[in-house]
Amino acid sequence: MIYHLEVDPVKLFSKIAAMGASLAALAACATISQAQEGATLDPNDAADSLTIMRKIMCSTVDDQPEVYWWHGIALSRVTGERDRHVFDVEGMNIRACSTIEDEEKGTGLHLVSREILLYKDPKTGEVLSTWDNPWTGETVDVLHVANDPVNFKMYETGRDGSPLQWGGEIGEDGTWWMRSTVPLWYPNPLASEFQKEIGGTYHATEMFNFFGRTDDLLDPESDSAKITVGWARMADWLPWMDMNGRQGMLYMHTAGYKLESYDQLSDTMKAEIATHYPEYTSPPPSGDPRSNMTSWKYYKGIRDGSITAPDRGVE
């Protein structure tokens, strides 16, 4: 059966147009909603790269404390003999970031932090107060690392004037990783003023590997990313080992992660902080202007009396 309907073509076109506009509006809303739900930080964008670095290094929330913790081993390397497992090591770094502005470099971050590295007996796991040097036969006092502060700044514009671009990589399995290799070569605070002429320049390398989930890192709604970290270091003998210029070096291999809170630190580390480093329960104040501390500058400060060493009951 066929029905013949009398329809005003103008009214019909108007209704179709109105329906089309409504459908277009609904589609636009859906598209916007999907875009918002799927929005991610862009590693090729300078502002987003800075946000990504804040999520890795600290938090996008100004002055919010974050804690990294790691542990591993320290071994010797001497020509002609097997490497020795000299120490176990355990470290922590408590930090926070704040937003800074620069007329030329734009928006940036200022990270402030303090860090500890403990040297432990590889057999018992106890934090060492003294150490029996197997090469010299001497017993020496152990000086653990307590670097306060360890700060740095980063901007949307790099040192070479180009826009900041995140230097990590994104895998096909939903994970990301970022490598950071830091060769160290600078005047040794314990050596003479003639280091260029007769040697003694401080020479070391630190190697970091950071890992995590891509969806977590690139989520613009979260203020910090869950991070797994690997840290390795190659350097000269520690000054308190009293190696007297012997050939060789010390290298460390460790792994750890960014904690959910300070309370997740090991009981050993929390006890050390409570007893010897009470200020390490929080990062330095925002905008901390002090120059960075290093383990060798710390040793020099202990020796010249400008820094007080923790009292471990060793006479």
pLDDT tens for each residue of the chain, 315 residues long: 433 333 343 343 344 344 444 434 443 343 333 334 568 999 999 999 999 999 999 999 999 999 999 999 999 999 999 999 999 999 999 999 999 999 999 999 999 999 999 999 999 999 999 999 999 999 999 999 999 999 999 999 998 999 999 999 999 999 999 999 999 999 999 999 999 988 899 999 999 999 999 999 999 999 999 999 999 999 999 999 999 999 999 999 999 999 999 999 999 999 999 999 999 999 999 999 999 999 999 999 999 999 999 999 876
SS3 state of residue 265: coil
Q: What is the distance, to the nearest Å, from the Cα of residue 311 to the centroid of all Cα atoms in its chain?
A: 29
Cα-Cα end-to-end distance for the chain: 111
Q: Where are the beta strands (DSSP E) in 166-283?
A: 169-170, 175-186, 202-213, 228-235, 249-258
Q: Residue 3 has what pLDDT? A: 34
Q: Given CA atoms 223, 228, 232, 238 in this order, what sign does their dihedral have?
A: positive
As separate numbers, helices (DSSP H) first and strands (DSSP E) second, the chain gives 6, 12
d(C-alpha 297, C-alpha 294), whole Å: 5
Q: Which single residue is written with the structure tokens 């710390």?
A: 298
Check residue 66 and give its pLDDT: 98
Cα separation, 87 vs 129, in Å, equals 12
Nearest partner of 210 among 160, 258, 150, judged by Cα? 258
**β pairing state of 85-102 and 66-77:** antiparallel
Q: What is the widest separation between alpha-carbon atoms in the chain?
A: 112
Residue 164 tokens read as 């900041």
Q: Specify the pLDDT at position 315.
A: 65
161-172 burial string, b = 16+ CB within 10 Å, else e?
eeebebebeeee
CB 101 within 8 A of CB 108: yes
The C-alpha atoms of residue 205 and residue 45 are separated, in whole angstroms, by 30
Predicted pLDDT of residue 260: 97
**pTM for the whole thing?**
0.87
- How far is it, in rounded angstroms, from Cα 134 to Cα 138? 8
